[in-house]
Amino acid sequence: MELMEIISKRRSIRKYKPDPVAQEDIEYVLEAARLAPSWANTQCWHFIVVTDEEIKNVLAQQGMPFTNRAPVVIVCCADPEKPGAKGDIPNYLVDVGITMEHLILAATERGLGTCWIGGFHEGPIKEVLDVPDNLRVVAMTTLGYPNQDPEARGRKSLEEIVSYEKYGRSKK
């Protein structure tokens, strides 16, 4: 698939088939994540691949109920101190955004569904996963074969989100 086709086909998937995901596919998406750019190449991230049902249940209780219905959950932690916050932007959050999207698009290419989960309570998740104190749990995604085929969710038009030269100026 061409990149734009992969980007267009991706959906947040919240229903999964029970079929397991091959280790090779898990490593493929992790490799895509590994290759992501980051602030000064600091690569502040660490991924935890979860297939254990009990652990997934804890993740589901702290976040989204559908989390334990996917065969795999990948949790992305990050060290906020590595890229630091040069300027006003906490770059570890940016870095995690990029690496997670690499992972998610590679999963789409392999016919796997994902759903970024950002709404969760971090404390119990850190505890169940033994995440060191100095790391934050920033994001997780489910991973598995989709059991739904949602329509594309709407997006704003380019005119609504793009300015030229200065904010609010349209293309000449």
Ligand X SMILES: Cc1cc2nc3c(=O)[nH]c(=O)nc-3n(C[C@H](O)[C@H](O)[C@H](O)COP(=O)(O)O)c2cc1C
Measured distance CA(50)–CA(150) in Å, rounded: 25
Residues 84-103 vs ligand X: string with x where CB under 6 A?
Answer: --------------------
Nearest residue to ligand X, scored by beta-carbon proximity: 118
| Residue 34 engages ligand X in binding (rule: CB under 6 A) | no
How near is the Cβ of 16 to ligand X at its closest, in Å?
A: 13
Give the rounded distance of the alpha carbon of 72 from its chain centre. Answer: 13
Euclidean distance between CA atoms 5 and 39, whole angstroms? 28
Judged by CB under 6 A, does residue 117 bind ligand X? yes
Q: Does 112 bind ligand X (CB under 6 A)?
A: no
The radius of gyration computed from the CA coordinates of the chain, to the nearest angstrom, equals 17
* Contact window for ligand X (CB under 6 A) among 17-25, 52-60, 71-79, 116-124: 116-124
SS3 state of residue 138: strand
| Contact pick of 50, 64, 75, 143 for ligand X (by CB under 6 A) | 64
8 Å CB contact between 115 and 38: no
Burial of 164 (0-12, 13-18, 19+ CB in 10 A): exposed
**Residues 142-161 contacting ligand X, CB under 6 A:** 153
Indicate whether 140 belongs to the interface with ligand X (CB under 6 A). no
Binding positions for ligand X, rule: CB under 6 A: 11-12, 64, 115-119, 153
